[in-house]
Structure 1
Amino acid sequence: MKQPLGVILAGGKATRMGGGDKGLLPLGEGTILDHVMARLSPQVAGMALNANGDASRFAALGVPVLTDSIEGHPGPLAGVLAGLDWAAGEGAETIVTVAADTPFFPCDLVPRLQLAAEGMAQPLALAATPDGRQPTFGLWPVALRDDLRAALQEGLRKVVMWTDRHGGREALFDEAGEPFFNVNTPGDLEKAQAMAGGGA
């Protein structure tokens, strides 16, 4: 399976952090997004960021910024679709998505997602922990982008409803710790600072 393109999903409104871009919050010697990009970059053939509003605020990152093509903040699936449309233009077959507020996701996320999807005509897999699926961490086939577009236009918003429809599989991450710990609140950011300092 060819190396996928990576898409960082940053389209949320961050209401529990008081709005703004969670990914641009400081973490360690950089930002949360710096940590996310450093983890994702070695695993993918190229990266883009899905975010809405003024793209110039992310100019320093040096990656394409993709906006949702579906109006009204329909959630992460709209970001997946934006990534698939971008990847189609790049000639890629798959993308892997990660969340912009989850700085410590596994360094072997992509190969494990690909392994879970092995043998599928349309590789589709979500990361999962013993607590359930992680719907913003997935491997998505470019070939299904028009199907996803139609589903979104019909009002579908729940990631797992769409992945289940296409026989999506799970890649289980059951190692110790919190591999998909995400920053939602100021308290979470404090915890992330401690985790970053400890070399998480």
Structure 2
Amino acid sequence: MGGGDKGRLVVRGRPLVAHVVARLEGQAAPLALNANGDPKRWADLGLPVLSDTVPGHPGPLAGVLAGMEWAASLGADAVISAAADTPFLPLDLAGKLHAAAGPSGLALASAGGRPQPTFGLWPVALRGDLRAALEGGTRKVLHWTDRHGAGYAEFPEAAFFNVNTPEDLAEADR
């Protein structure tokens, strides 16, 4: 996609991430953005920007951990996560994730029977275990979530259309 922040690509006159924020508002509050680097580039969103708290940019789980730690500091019980390149995510994401939570309180979205591991409900009580797993080298979301008996909320296959190519961007704009 040419480098840079994919969430900044424009669909229907707004950055992808702005579509995600609009769809999450009313489902979860407060909202924050996980991004590394200069947080000023996201200032127009008016959201706190959370950098990874584990060095080396170890992937999506590090972003989840940053969110969990932030939420815990606010007294929240859990975090909902979503990818910034998915402008049409379900408007019932949070409700379905809560309903599907496994015994640990953890849930992931699934579409067409395939897990969508960047869309989840993450109990802040698991943040210590997640930090230890990341520091121990765990990088695959499903390796960690399977250990905690994550539940799965099923959605239609098209629910998590994401933008990975210029053709996807054009399709999303249509």
TM-score, length basis structure 2: 0.97
1:30 partnered with 2:30: no
SS of aligned partner of 2:66: helix
- Shift of residue 117 of structure 1? 1.2
C-alpha deviation, 1:99, in angstroms: 0.2
Partner of 2:147: 165
- Indicate whether 1:181 and 2:165 are aligned: no
Aligned ranges 1:9-48 → 2 under 5 Å: 17-48=1-32
Structure-2 residue corresponding to 1:139: 121
- Distance between the aligned counterparts of 1:36 and 1:168, measured in 2? 23
Count of paired positions: 174
Q: Distance in 1 between matches of 2:101 and 2:54?
A: 27
Shift of 1:29: 2.5
Letter of the aligned partner of 1:189 in structure 2? Answer: L
> Shift of the alpha carbon at 1:131?
4.5
Corresponding residue of 2:108: 126
Matched, 1:79 2:63: yes
TM alignment of 1:27-106, pairs within 5 A:
27-106=11-90
How many angstroms does 1:26 deviate by?
1.1
SS class of match (2:7): helix
Provide the rounded CA distance (Å) in 1 between the counterparts of 2:169 and 2:76: 34
Q: For 2:98, give the aligned amino acid.
A: Q
1:72 counterpart SS class: coil
Q: CA deviation at 1:31?
A: 1.2
Paired AA for residue 179 in structure 1? A
CA distance in 2, matches of 1:105, 1:38: 10
Contact 2:113 2:154 (C-alpha < 8 Å) held by counterparts: no
CA distance in 2, matches of 1:73, 1:193: 30
Q: Distance in 2 between matches of 1:109 and 1:37?
A: 13
Partner of 1:192: 172
Unaligned runs of 5+ in 2: none
Give the match's secondary structure for 1:178. helix
Q: Which stretches in structure 1 are left out of the alignment for 5+ residues? A: 1-16, 195-200
| Percent of residue pairs identical | 59
Secondary structure of 1:135's match?
A: strand
Structure 2 counterpart of 1:14: none
Provide runs of 4+ in structure 1 moved above 3 Å: none
- Distance in 1 of aligned mates of 2:34 and 2:85: 13
